[in-house]
């Protein structure tokens, strides 16, 4: 898996599991900023929502075994 | 007067109700005391939802139709309650706008997390998007 995608998955997992509201606010913004940067850098024509749906199984597999 | 629907007169207050009243009475000068209590309870429910998602969706090779529907049901409940909290906050007088903005941003971070969960597990997957991402997923 591309290092940038793994970074995005890690940011997303960290954001999801965070319960402190101030920290979560920061992590939520950081996750979407990084995802936007990735989509722009690689000229990928899809929304954040479409990216999340398209990578569903990859995210599931990564969560089940994060080191692969 | 019909009393059957008045749970307070029938001793049917839940522990949650009582804690909300206690929060309000403990901080009578704070117009957001009860809101903060509800926000805290909602965040706890969001954390429990993450646990449910991890066990019933992420950990499963193929989540059952029941698990997916339960996931969707709880998502809707949490999204609805979060939006109610946001509306209450916006409509609460005598709270500084800067404080409202700060708390709304925090509420939106939780709502955004829930919305992302919706798109991830219930959104439509387009083959063209999978193809566009294939070089990054190998």
Residue B59 lies in a domain: yes
Residue B132 lies in a domain: no
Q: What is the DSSP letter of B9?
A: G
- Verify whether the Cβ–Cβ distance A49 to B129 is below 8 Å: no
Q: Which one is predicted more confidently, B52 or A67?
A: B52
Looking at residues A63-67, what average pLDDT do you find? 80
Share of chain B above pLDDT 90, in %: 70
Q: Could you tell me if A15 and A24 are in contact, meaning their C-beta atoms sit under 8 angstroms apart?
A: yes
**Residues of B85-109 as b/e, b for ≥16 C-beta within 10 angstroms?**
bbeebeeeeeeeeeebeebebbbbb
CA distance B6 to chain A (A): 34
Mean pLDDT of chain A: 94
Asked if A36 reaches chain B (Cβ–Cβ under 8 Å), the answer is: no
Asked if A15 reaches chain B (Cβ–Cβ under 8 Å), the answer is: yes
Residue B7 lies in a domain: no
pLDDT at position B1 is 42
Q: Could you tell me if B39 and B84 are in contact, meaning their C-beta atoms sit under 8 angstroms apart?
A: no
Q: Please tell me the total count of domains within chain B.
A: 1
Looking at residues A61-67, what average pLDDT do you find? 83
The secondary element (H helix, E strand) that includes residue B24 is helix B15-26
Residue B106 lies in a domain: yes
pLDDT at position B12 is 83
Restricting to B residues 95-134, those with a Cβ less than 8 Å away from any Cβ of A are 105-106, 108-110, 112-113, 116-117, 119-121, 123-126, 129-130, 132-133
Distance of CA A9 to the CA centre of its chain: 4
Report pLDDT digits (tens) over B21-78.
Answer: 888 888 878 888 899 999 999 999 999 999 999 999 999 989 999 999 999 999 999 9
Domain span at residue B58 reads 31-121
pLDDT at position B114 is 98
Which pTM does this prediction carry? 0.88
Distance CA B49, CA B71 (A): 8
Residue B86 lies in a domain: yes
Looking at residues A4-25, what average pLDDT do you find? 96
Residue B62 lies in a domain: yes
Contacts with B79 (C-beta within 8 Å, 6 or more apart), sequence order: B111, B114, B115, B118
pLDDT at position B10 is 63
Distance CA B91, CA B39 (A): 15
């Amino acid at each position: 898996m591309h290092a940038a995608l793994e970074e995005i998955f890690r940011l997303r997992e960290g954001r999801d599991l965070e319960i402190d509201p101030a920290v979560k606010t920061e992590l939520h913004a950081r996750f979407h900023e990084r995802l936007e940067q990735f989509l722009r850098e690689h000229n990928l024509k899809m929304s954040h929502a479409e990216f999340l749906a398209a990578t569903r199984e990859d995210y599931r597999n990564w969560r089940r075994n994060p080191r692969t | 007067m019909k009393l059957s629907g008045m749970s307070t007169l029938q001793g049917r207050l839940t522990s949650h109700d009582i804690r909300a009243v206690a929060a309000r009475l403990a901080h009578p000068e704070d117009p957001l005391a009860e809101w903060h209590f509800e926000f805290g309870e909602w965040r706890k429910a969001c954390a429990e939802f993450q646990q449910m998602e991890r066990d019933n969706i992420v950990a499963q090779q193929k989540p059952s139709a029941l698990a997916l529907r339960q996931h969707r049901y709880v998502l809707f409940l949490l999204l609805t309650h979060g939006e109610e909290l946001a509306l209450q906050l916006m409509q609460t007088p005598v709270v500084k706008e800067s404080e409202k903005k700060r708390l709304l941003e925090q509420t939106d971070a939780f709502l955004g997390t829930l919305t992302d969960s919706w798109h991830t597990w219930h959104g439509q997957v387009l083959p063209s998007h999978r193809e566009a991402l294939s070089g990054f997923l190998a």
